[in-house]
Amino acid sequence: MNERPLSLPESLHRVVSGFSGMTVLVAGDLILDRFVNGAIERISPEAPIPVLHARGETLAAGGASNVAANIVSLGGSAIAVSAVGEDAAGSNLLEVLAGLGIGIEAVLREKGRVTSRKSRFSALNQQILRFDEEEIRPLGADARRLLLERFSEALVTADIVVLSDYGKGVLLDGVAAELIALARQAGKPVLVDPKGRDYRHYAGATAITPNRKELGEAVGRSVFSDTEIEAAARELIASHDFEFVVATRSEKGISVVGAEDARHLSTQAREVFDVTGAGDTAIASFALALAAGASRAMAATIANASAGVVVGKRGTARLSADELLGALLRTHGPVAHRDAVLDLDGAVRLAAGWKKEGLSVGFTNGCFDILHAGHVSLLNSARSQCDRLILGLNSDASVRRLKGAGRPVNDQRDRACVLAALASVDAVVVFDDDTPIRLIEALLPDLLFKGADYSLDQVVGADAVQKNGGRVVLVDLVDGRSTTGTIGKLRGEPTAP
């Protein structure tokens, strides 16, 4: 059954923020992706085939190394465990991985092994030929022993393990089963991106992440509907002792199925350019989310958003944490009030995600001790001029210094909760300084709003915003409305004429 979003945006944001503290061990088949771009201007005189004039070449991480690259691009740490050949492609691949910041100390060089390399030739962004250089070969006895040793050593620092099987040989002949056993013995969860139709050698893994076609092949029948996906997944869970199955469906979404529960998430509609690498991105983000403490359902939400972004890119694509946050925010809309009260770091990341999506971010600030019509009018006016509005709220200590003893009437927790519940406010950040200058300099909003009782030269942070290309907007206030006046009325003080 399809259900409403599983988690509120800020809850998802907190998990994504935790990616930076996670280390993922990625074991499997490393592949060097080579992209040759050029132009076709004539037909060969030797045969009726086009002649490609090469104009550029790039090398990229493919296969299991693309999973590791996605983990790093999302802010996590990745350690690759594999074997490559003592050939030029192997050297190039290790250089690419090191350049991306992926740990390569557990990658061994095996004499006689051919490093898998896939060369793609394109003209005018249209692929015209793919040339694969590879040899499917199990590890030799010495290489196998060394790989298991390096995997065990790396396990100590890992939070979670991903086995990325591309069928090139590194995980053949029971290696996958040995790695799973070592990981589970160490208490580390194991996710497997499988290959082939026989999943017995992945038995005991925490979860597998096949795509819809692979899931059908594993159970010997086609699966299309949610009900069919659930039935197939539970058959594999029962047969191979998996805790759950994550079935990716390219641009159509993702399903996470346990023995007794299931969630089916649809990817937000967007133009699809290329589904290459979407599965790698999905398992990378799912692994990071699970390691960062997310539930299966929340991790699936994050993985689904990740895959939805990369299918809109060309080639072996990756995404950043900010892009992911932007996709999650676009999916879930405005932040619910109980999750909209942030610290500074959270607000900065949230604002960056909004900006990445092309949304304009506004900022205003104040004590907002007793909410009145003037406040509401100012906030509504500000929000009508930007896509998202962040409110900087003076802390209790800050209000006391500015307003004197007896203030605030409402503490910062209550004030923040009330303000975050307003439709005009997308996020609230409490600050302890007398002015919000540090907050403004960190956020660098597109628009800075202040009441028209201020002049431009009196607006704190105006210079920082304008130097960054933003604007300062002075908003007309409602006459006769102030917190001080409201408090005076409550105390029975005479009203000023």
pLDDT of residue 346: 78
Mean pLDDT of the chain: 87
Gap between the Cα atoms of 333 and 321, Å rounded: 18
Q: Assess whether 245 and 344 both reside in one domain.
A: no
The H helix count followed by the E strand count for the chain is 17, 19
| List of residues 6+ apart from 185 with CB closer than 8 A | none
- Catalytic residue among 33, 165, 193, 280, which? 280
pLDDT of residue 413: 85
Q: Assess whether 252 and 115 both reside in one domain.
A: yes
What is the DSSP track for 47-89? SSSEEEEEEEEEEEEEEHHHHHHHHHHTT-EEEEEEEEESSHH
Model confidence at 261: pLDDT above 70: yes
Residue 431: pLDDT band (50, 70, 90) is: very high
Q: Assess whether 54 and 98 both reside in one domain.
A: yes
- Inside any domain, residue 404: yes
Average pLDDT on 298-323 reads 75
Residue 321: pLDDT band (50, 70, 90) is: confident
Q: Assess whether 36 and 94 both reside in one domain.
A: yes
| List of residues 6+ apart from 290 with CB closer than 8 A | 160, 189, 191, 296, 299
Gap between the Cα atoms of 202 and 237, Å rounded: 11
pLDDT of residue 308: 73
pLDDT of residue 2: 45
pLDDT of residue 251: 60
- Tens of pLDDT, residue by residue over 155-193, are 999 999 999 999 999 999 999 999 999 999 999 999 999
Residue 342: pLDDT band (50, 70, 90) is: confident
Final residue of a structural domain among 332, 357, 389: 332
Q: Assess whether 323 and 429 both reside in one domain.
A: no
- Inside any domain, residue 497: no
Helix axes 64-73, 88-100, angle to 10 degrees: 20
Final residue of a structural domain among 332, 356, 382: 332
Average pLDDT on 442-467 reads 92
- Inside any domain, residue 212: yes
pLDDT of residue 335: 45
Average pLDDT on 14-23 reads 91
Cis peptide before 194 (omega within 30 of 0): no
- Inside any domain, residue 54: yes
Average pLDDT on 412-431 reads 88
Q: Assess whether 308 and 436 both reside in one domain.
A: no
Establish whether 211 is an annotated binding residue. yes
Establish whether 467 is an annotated binding residue. no
Model confidence at 271: pLDDT above 60: no
Taking CA atoms, 292 is separated from 11, 25, 325, 345, in Å, by: 12, 14, 15, 17
Q: Which domain holds residue 478?
A: 340-490
Gap between the Cα atoms of 303 and 288, Å rounded: 9
Q: Please give the tally of structural domains in the chain.
A: 2
DSSP bridge pairs for 32: 61, 117
Q: Assess whether 380 and 461 both reside in one domain.
A: yes
Gap between the Cα atoms of 199 and 205, Å rounded: 10
Taking CA atoms, 273 is separated from 53, 56, 71, 277, 456, in Å, by: 25, 21, 22, 12, 47
369 an active-site residue? no
CATH number where 452 lies:
3.40.50.620
Q: Assess whether 349 and 322 both reside in one domain.
A: no
Q: Assess whether 353 and 403 both reside in one domain.
A: yes
Q: Assess whether 356 and 306 both reside in one domain.
A: no
Establish whether 318 is an annotated binding residue. no
- Inside any domain, residue 264: yes
- Tens of pLDDT, residue by residue over 82-139, are 999 999 999 999 999 999 999 999 999 999 999 999 999 999 878 899 999 999 999 9
Q: Assess whether 254 and 361 both reside in one domain.
A: no
pLDDT of residue 443: 95
pLDDT of residue 330: 56
Task: Report which DSSP code applies to 113.
Answer: P
Establish whether 252 is an annotated binding residue. no
Whether 307 and 277 have beta carbons less than 8 Å apart is answered as no
Whether 440 and 416 have beta carbons less than 8 Å apart is answered as no
Average pLDDT on 221-242 reads 95
CATH number where 33 lies:
3.40.1190.20
Final residue of a structural domain among 303, 332, 361: 332
Model confidence at 338: pLDDT above 60: no
- Inside any domain, residue 496: no
